[in-house]
Structure 1
């Protein structure tokens, strides 16, 4: 039986948070993330299914994994309106219900900040990707500015409690590289709301290739 998790308060608030973010620029970020994606896609932590409408005709199937039941129900509704086939499944990023080397693309979109075991999740992404596949990621990061990072570290305990486990202080791009992925494209930016930075403003969008298979 697939594992689930429950964040009832966050799950009720997140659709409003996402709508606000989309009104201020995240729609364009999602389009950038998914432009040119093709083949079979595995999306980890699909949330409400906000990415589904951005998959183009080159995508033949999306397998969307989401452990939070309230968010998963919203994702199922979004899947019905998607222009590509989307299957929404319960499960964890650390234990994807997907076969080895069966995905052309793995998508991590504003989710690696919340996952308990990021190395395990990235190892799973590498497992399910074809050798020619790609990891597409859109995440907020710990700041490389010392003063801003101190603020993130100060706010992080409360942020995690209110944000469904979201961490402000993760260096997700470095974690991807440490997991053996080769980062081929990357764009760093500050996601500003009305010209102002928030605690989660430092962001990255990129594409990485999976680790090469090791011969015994």
Structure 2
């Protein structure tokens, strides 16, 4: 039986009031625009947070299902939904157990969320299941660092204070490998430090890109 989501009200307020706006000013809005450009049809976004992606969806998206299990962030996103650029349906569900039939969506979006999902491999398997063959997964995530020294720092943080302080976030997940392991074919990826800083930060390494659920008989 799936365990219920543990609420993180303090982190939700911190993210909505401070961390989220600071990241937008540092350039996150531009990356969100790149992430979502060209999407069409029915789209599912897991870990929608407080709805920061909503204004960036193109009008060709006819339905957006925004999955957010944290009730405080979901309430904030619900407040933003009427002003979104596309029709939004908020959904209280876990990414590891999506309440949708197979092959339900034309695209899926993960944005700064796989770091905090309890089982990202299960979540990616569920996205693979609910996507129609040939459909895209769009991803923008902070990931495992490039240098051995920073990866050691990430391991220490991820096994001590970071997840408790940051709403379950982990700094050092190898998300690109997890995407391919789930059955997706990565078709493009940009790897960069964000936000730009001269001081090395444990959650600075990001990837932004696209992957495809191959059609039956297609290559991985």
Pair in the same fold by TM > 0.5: yes
Rounded to whole Å, the distance in 2 between the matches of 1:26 and 1:209 is 24
Matched, 1:27 2:46: no
Q: Structure 1 residues 69 and 24 mapped into 2: Cα distance closer, same or farther (>3 Å)?
A: same
Q: 2:137 aligns with which of 126, 135, 138?
A: 135
Instruction: List gaps (5 residues or longer) in structure 2.
Output: none
CA distance in 1, matches of 2:215, 2:4: 29
TM-aligned CA deviation for residue 4 of structure 1? 4.1
Q: Displacement, 1:148? A: 1.3
**1:3–1:90 Cα contact (<8 Å) kept:** no
1:155: which partner in 2?
157
Distance 1:170 1:98, change over 3 A: same
Q: Report if the CA contact (8 A) 2:134-2:214 is conserved.
A: no
- Quote the offset at 1:152 in angstroms: 1.6
SS at match of 2:161: helix
Q: Which residue of 2 aligns with 1:210?
A: 213
Deviation per CA, 1:10-57: give whole Å up to 9, x if none.
111111201000100111111110011111010001000110000011
| Correspondence for 2:173 | 170
* Paired position in structure 1 for 2:119: 117
Q: Does 1:182 align with 2:192?
A: no
CA contact (8 A) 1:67 1:92 kept: yes
Match of 2:6 in 1: 5
Contact 1:24 1:194 in 2 (8 A): no
Across the aligned residues of Structure 1 and Structure 2, the Cα RMSD in angstroms comes to 1.7
Selected match of 1:48 from 47, 50, 54: 50
Q: Does the CA-based 8 Å contact 1:153-1:169 persist in structure 2? A: yes
Aligned residues: 214
Partners of 2:4 and 2:155 lie apart in 1 by 30
2:22 partner SS: helix
